[in-house]
A and B are shown apart, each in its own frame.
Chain A
Amino acid sequence: MHKIAEVEIQHDIMLANRKLAKKNQKILDKDEVFAVDVLGAIGSGKTSLIERLIQEMEQPMAVIAGDVISKFDAGRFEKYDVPVVGLNTGKECHLDAHLVEHALHDLPLADVDILFIENVGNLICPVDFDLGSHIRMVVISVSEGDDTVEKHPLIFKDADLVVINKVDIAEAVGADQDKMVDDVKILNPDVQVIKTSLKTGQGLKEIIEAIEKFMNE
């Protein structure tokens, strides 16, 4: 004789990640580390921007380089003599709080003021996964096309800071940069949108000011 039983589980996998993310933020707060989750499309300039910020900002920094194969970006950051942890996501399309927790243990957090976490180049999957960062900075560029924002609304809805990069080539690729700004504003009226060119340095100062403002809040 066999018996059929119903078992209540109520285990929210998304919530489990969010709880871990909260734990990460506690670890960061203990050492007064301000963490920035850097999200964006492939090739939008995430690594380049972090490289420039490492050079221009005074605060001691560390970087978590997340990518399908992370050693390439990790190698770029190591040149600046900052602590770097590479996280390979392999077949995964995003970082999650669990992976980041491991990386946090490998970083000298007590000596760090700002931690940049470069997420996997993807405008879709990372949205569902908080990492425990204090802000989310989304970096896109004009070369992905000026309909990028409309096509991926959720990532902009959740963003704390939006960077529209490579404006130096906007004309060449026929992208309307102001339309991109307007599209972000429709989704997220209060967010600061900064147009940048890492080739000319345009907008870099504004990004630094914006991050420092968040740090002082």
Chain B
Amino acid sequence: MHELSMADAIVKTVIDAAEKNDAIEVLEVTVEIGKMTLLNPEQIKFMLDVLSEDTILAGATFILEEIPIEIECGSCGYKGEIDSEGLDEYTPILICPKCEGHEISIIAGRECNVKNIKIEKSDEDAQDS
């Protein structure tokens, strides 16, 4: 439900990085979203399109990648990804795939990470930096 503020933070982060790197246009933005966040990638994408209008990001392609859930099991020590395909949305957090224990801590899957951007800069600027 807070996709708007997340999208807003993403846009601000990108504008900041684009300006620091003397971009004249942002062509592509890659964002990684953890599967455990309560963020809906479809909605984020829509908001990003709306918010980037009239900014240096206008017309950029947004690539949203999913970060799978990784857990560590307190009972048997299993550490790694869990297969959440076909499972009920959030049930994977409940059970260790190895020992079926419940003492699980989440080590990945809660991110909303602005990974990288592809920008266009004028040749002059490129030589400067």
Contact = CB atoms under 8 A, between A and B. Distances in A.
Question: Do chains A and B stick together as partners?
Answer: yes
A14 B108 CA distance: 12
A7 B21 contact: yes
Given A2-B123, A127-B38, A189-B102, A8 B116 contact: yes
Contacts, number: 103
Contacts of A9: 13-14, 17, 114-117
A55 interface: no
A157 B93 contact: yes
A13 interface: yes
B55 interface: no
A3 interface: yes
Contacts of A8: 115-116
B37 interface: yes
Interface stretch (B3-11, B45-53, B58-66, B79-87): B3-11
Main secondary structure of the interface of A (DSSP, over half): mixed
Contact of B17 (A7, A13, A14, A94): A7
B2 A93 contact: yes
Nearest to B28: A6
A13 B114 contact: yes
B94 interface: yes
Q: Contact size class for A?
A: 20 to 34
A186 B101 CA distance: 11
Contact of A154 (B2, B6, B17, B90): B90
Interface residues of B, number: 41
Nearest to A154: B90
A3 B121 contact: yes
A13 B38 contact: no
Contact of B121 (A5, A14, A157): A5
Contacts of A15: 111, 113
Interface in A34-48: none
A154 B111 contact: no
A6 B9 CA distance: 20
Nearest to A93: B1
Nearest to B111: A12
Contact of A5 (B21, B34, B36, B114): B21
Nearest to B30: A9
Nearest to B6: A13
A145 interface: no
B90 A153 contact: yes
Nearest to B91: A153
Interface of A: 1-15, 91-94, 122, 124-125, 127-128, 153-154, 157, 186-187, 189
